[in-house]
Amino acid sequence: MSDNRIIALAGNPNSGKTTIFNALTGSNQRVGNWPGVTVEKKEGVLRLEGTDYTVVDLPGTYGLSARSIDERVARDFLVRNKPFLVAVILDASNLERNMYLALQIMELGVSKVVLVFNMMDVARSRGMEIDARAMSIFLGVPIVPTIGNKKEGIEDLKRVISLYVRGLSADNKMEPGSPFKYRQDIEDAIEQVESMIPNEIAREYPARWVAIRLMEDDSEYRDIVARMSSGEEILGKVDALRQHLERILGYDVETAMAEMRYGYIKGVVREFVKRRPSIGDRLSMSDRIDAVVTNRYLGLPIFLLIMWIAFMLTFNLGGFFSDYIDAFFTFVGSITAAHIRTEWLASFICDGVIGGVGAVLVFLPNIFMLFLMLSILEESGYMARGAFVMDKLMHAMGLHGKSFIPMVLGFGCNVPAIMATRTLENRKDRIITILVNPLMSCSARLPVYVLFAGALFSAHQGTVIFSIYILGIILAVVLARIFKSMFFKGETTPLVMELPPYHIPEPKGVILSAWQRSALFVRKAGTVIFAAVILIWLMASFPLGAGYASEHTLIGRLGSVLAPVFSPAGFGYWQAAVALFFGILAKEVVVGTLGTLYHTTGSGLSAVIASHFSPLSGYAFMVMTLVYIPCIATIAVIKRETNSWAWAGFAVAYSLILGWSLAVIIFQVGSLFA
């Protein structure tokens, strides 16, 4: 039985599904512009006439053939959980493509279906007139026209949902008008296979659906059938039928079936949509931009220039605001020191809280700017083009152009970036992308670079930081290549991606999205980083009488044990060793630890760094921070996404060895020239 409290939203990427989801549930979520932004299963609550319904936002898919994990998530949910109602969100200006998924969901036949024709304004502006009412009667499903971002039609959708929930009233009774059928010989074959499906399977899956999948040679369903006692007999029959049909058709059955579905859709669209625009009649603005930015010679330089501008804005504009936050903490620190007489409390506030958490929060403007840049790139539509520009390079790495998106997201945070690899179809591509992702320097590591580059390379800090990011990318390229030849030989899957038209990002949306992501950073500063800083402060204060943050405290002793390991890299100070050690909890803690141990923040901390590090050893330390062991959250997500402790352990081991070796090489080789 299906649960009549569950409503699923399905649809192609870029159909405005997330907007409809937000309008229905009132929750605030990000709307991206590259295909596959909805990677996680999102749920929200819709309250209708006093009853709560769970609305599940499925990952965007083009069909139900379940090639990537994303698509599998969507298909499994529809097939296994059998939601009471599926609202299929379609881009109304693009029905010929969007109807393909809708048709497959109707074919599945486990849920009631509502078609939501979204973006009606775009369709109208393209001169399309859709006779939704007649089409609805023909297809035998309700059709609700909407304009998601203007909240138009949402009330109609809610009304249709509640009608369905209460059972259809007389005037809304839907009879299948003209159900879709394949050509007769294929229909006969499907029927023959359907009659052979054993009850064990038919209890869980619709028998016709299984028969269709088998005729399409779907390996997942072949495996399910193969486990049955009559499995061999059924698959033998399927193969015989397929061979027979292929001889008649002259090509493979699955292509023929896809062709018939598209043919049917074409007919429906021709019948009910008037004044269709002739396909590709004129070059749009987007096409003219694409001709330049995807050009063989210009593509890569333009890409690098855009990235460079984004980074410069992140550091220069962000740094401007950081100075004010720094001044604020210095002010609070001086007041505390002057007014609190209890020595340990003053130390706790000045050294622990302000020194540790303050040192991290100073970088909030940089991080906000970084996320702002990523949001703008995503929303404008450039990110999807980036995948093509980088495709050659990605192929040289033995990766897929699509791997580029998780890689760029890694600059924000590796945790969602690694989750975004779910859009990759090939498991090998996916594991390699996951393994090298931590080399994409996340925003948590940024405070370390800004601090060190500011203290040691004041004139060229932007360029120095850019070089660290570039180093991370180069290392990712080289290692991906090595991992590929070590663990996974074989070909990569083709790159085919929808390119949504460019549009100027909506300022409110972009700022909100950047703020939501930055807020996570603030929350982290209040929890994980705060806890780590207290621990470090305590370890730096005990045993009492040893002198705060001296070598004889607990933390000093721990650091002294670790420090010799880093001597060959030029930063064999126990404070640096401890900072790296606790940095595994969260990379911001590296700066937080230094702030706590040197009891100062901002410009004061810069001065201390300048006195302890040379530009060379400082650079070695930055490289170490870039490469060594991913933070705990990243390790956990690697384990979860690869479903293997071995891969997570491997990621930890290779990064530690590589990071240490590089730091040593940089310092030793650099010393020869100094």
Partner 1 sequence: MCPLSMCAPGEKVVIQRIAGGWGVKRRMADMGFYPGERLVVVNSSGGPVIVDVKGTRVGIGRNMANKIFVTIER
Is the separation of the CB atoms in 553 and 597 below 8 Å?
no
- Burial bucket for residue 175 (CB in 10 Å: 0-12, 13-18, 19+): exposed
Q: Could you tell me the smallest distance in angstroms from the CB atom of residue 522 to partner 1? A: 37
- Cβ closest to partner 1, residue 72 vs residue 97: 97
Interface segment toward partner 1; rule CB under 8 A; list 161-169, 174-182, 489-497, 569-577: 489-497
Q: Could you tell me the smallest distance in angstroms from the CB atom of residue 61 to partner 1? A: 8
Structure tokens at 668: 């030793």
Backbone angles phi, psi at 441, to 5 degrees: -70, 115
Interface segment toward partner 1; rule CB under 8 A; list 56-64, 143-151, 312-320, 611-619: 56-64
Q: How far apart are CA 56 and CA 88, in angstroms?
A: 12
Q: Could you tell me the smallest distance in angstroms from the CB atom of residue 291 to partner 1? A: 5
For the residues of 377-426, what is the DSSP string, one character each? HHHHTHHHHHHHHTHHHHHHTT--GGGHHHHHHTTT-HHHHHHGGGG-S-
Q: Could you tell me the smallest distance in angstroms from the CB atom of residue 599 to partner 1? A: 54
- Cβ closest to partner 1, residue 255 vs residue 567: 255
- Cβ closest to partner 1, residue 498 vs residue 551: 498
| Binding of partner 1 by 246 (CB under 8 A) | no
| Binding of partner 1 by 125 (CB under 8 A) | no
Residues near partner 1 (CB under 8 A), total: 52
Residues in region 335-394 near partner 1 by CB under 8 A: 384-385, 387-389, 391-392
Q: How far apart are CA 320 and CA 479, in angstroms?
A: 36
Structure tokens at 212: 């269709």
Query: What's at 22, amino acid-wise?
Result: N
**Going residue by residue from 396 to 435, which x/- string records binding to partner 1, judged by CB under 8 A?**
-----x-----------------------x----------
Q: How far apart are CA 353 and CA 599, in angstroms?
A: 10
Structure tokens at 586: 């969260």
589 sits in which H/E element? helix 588-597
- Cβ closest to partner 1, residue 502 vs residue 581: 502
Interface segment toward partner 1; rule CB under 8 A; list 166-174, 409-417, 487-495, 609-617: 487-495
Structure tokens at 595: 């702030």
- In the list 62, 164, 466, 628, the residue contacting partner 1 (rule: CB under 8 A) is 62
| Binding of partner 1 by 294 (CB under 8 A) | yes
| Binding of partner 1 by 287 (CB under 8 A) | yes
| Bridge partners, residue 10, by sequence | 88
Interface segment toward partner 1; rule CB under 8 A; list 59-67, 317-325, 554-562, 636-644: 59-67
Residue-wise burial string across 63-99, b where 16 or more C-beta atoms lie within 10 A, e elsewhere: bbbbebbbbbbbbebbbeebbbbbbbbbbbbbbeebb
List of residues contacting partner 1 (CB under 8 A) = 61-63, 65, 67, 93-94, 96-97, 100, 216-217, 219, 251-252, 254-255, 258-259, 262, 277, 279-280, 283, 286-287, 290-291, 294-297, 299, 384-385, 387-389, 391-392, 395, 401, 425, 493-501
